[in-house]
Structure 1
Amino acid sequence: MLIARSVADLRQALAPYRRPAFVPTMGNLHDGHIALVRQARPLGDVTVTSIFVNRLQFLPHEDFDSYPRTWESDCAQLQGAGCDVLFAPREADLYPEPQTFKVHPDPRLADMLEGHFRPGFFVGVSTVVMKLFACVLGATGGTAVFGKKDYQQLMVIRHMVQQFALPIEIVAGETHRAADGLALSSRNCYLGLQERQEAVALSQALQQLAQRWRHDPAPGAEQAAAWEKQALDALRSRGWQPDYLTVRRRADLTAPSPQDMPGALVALGAARLGATRLIDNLEF
């Protein structure tokens, strides 16, 4: 596996290839990331993974400095998964000057849910992904694989690629879960033993919320709001601090209408357990 630290070295490494398959990450890799790399391998003629902890998508009070960085383990896992090129730029390589040009996604998609509770988050995400696309896929286009666990992020990136007419195919990878159902996340390492045992309650709450919709697929706005409140209160009673638990249309993350049936919906949630904020979703 070749490791490229600078944009120039990356472009030199990719010069012989016509269609890279790309998996962007922030490192601290787990089995979900590695599954994305394996999914990407047959989709291009060279497999590229990036590791870059992007300061632009962290709010001032969030965990940029303490975000787990596990370089040696990440490299070993990527090499075992058949990654060809690892792009691991330093901050000065990717942002050699202040990034004053930024990508602002459609607020109708980006200012709800995660964007509401983490203002500016999707500006940071969109900006760094656009820049990584320019570095990895800018010359030829190609494929980029993103996990469904960050459901709203996946939608924002898809819309960005569409609106900028980028020659890039966005492929979604399924969420990988532990045996008890907890979605794998780089932030799971923050959980203490008791918190780790409790953490599965978030996915269980989403399953219960989805089940209510399956039994009554046209509940009306008041009933849907009551179900969401019950789900939020149930998590609070267990010591969580939930931001949202809600059901939305998969197509655009707007509130479902009476004609939307299960099969076109997704339950999404974000909640803090102790000091750790977890997110999850369930298509149904």
Structure 2
Amino acid sequence: MECHTDASVVDSKVRVDHVTGEVELVSMVVDEKEYHASAHGGEDFYCIDCHADLEDSEGEHYPNLQPVDCVTFCHDDPAATFLEGSHASLMQEKGVQLPTCKYCHTGQKSKMNTPRADNLEHRGDTIEKCGGCHEAYYRSYRNNLHGQVTAMGYVGLDIATCVDCHGQHTILNSTNQESTLGAENAKETCGKCHPGAGNSFVKHVAHPGYKDVGYYKSALVALKNIRKDPGEIKAIVKSPQTLLTVLFLAYVGLLVVTFAQFGTHMLFSWLGSILDDRKENESDHG
């Protein structure tokens, strides 16, 4: 670490990401304070534990080290559970290269500083990282209480982010019974923050779509195709999302009518006062 904390000794280097193929300029300077606050910054952890090809080197070493292998020696269990999840299976099915650990586990200032799981900045970054792919769910998350609180900058352990509900590595579709939000597990998952969460509690709409134009477009398409596929519109009608949407539209409609009446009343009152003033002026001059 003696060399890599001194900017006069080490510089930046051009590196090609072995997954994305992107060329990037990476600083080789390590912020010692940031590093020790990271997941790998403990006293019993050394550079060679990750950079295995440094084993026989002393002092200045070969500059082009191999990419760090997070899986083989240390994180084989999380990697195995990730491969069991929906992300890995879907990406493999579509022929998309699986992401490395660093895709999700990367520090704000440097990829070298892997944040701890309970790091608040990391929890906030996780929401944005998930939202980069799941845009519609990101928008609907921002419409519920969890998302509104985190949007204000609070990402404490007592407010849910994506991984708190959907799991960390073995993320499964909520329709899967083994999912953290499956019928058998939802009460336990919600109960971590909401003790006593029962059957009615877990039926709440976690991703309200009433503010998303896409939700209304999909409902309109289902309505147009009602003869071809009546099951789709039936599913929409039975969904708790529909009741929430009706209540939202009724609420907005009530506000519009109320303020429209208020505005109309004020307009006519203003016009009436102008006419009264004009009549008074005419009578005074008469």
Whichever of the two has the greater Rg, that structure is: 2
Q: TM-score scaled by structure 1? A: 0.26
The structure with the greater share of residues assigned to strand is: 1
Q: TM-score scaled by structure 2? A: 0.26
The structure with the greater share of residues assigned to helix is: 2
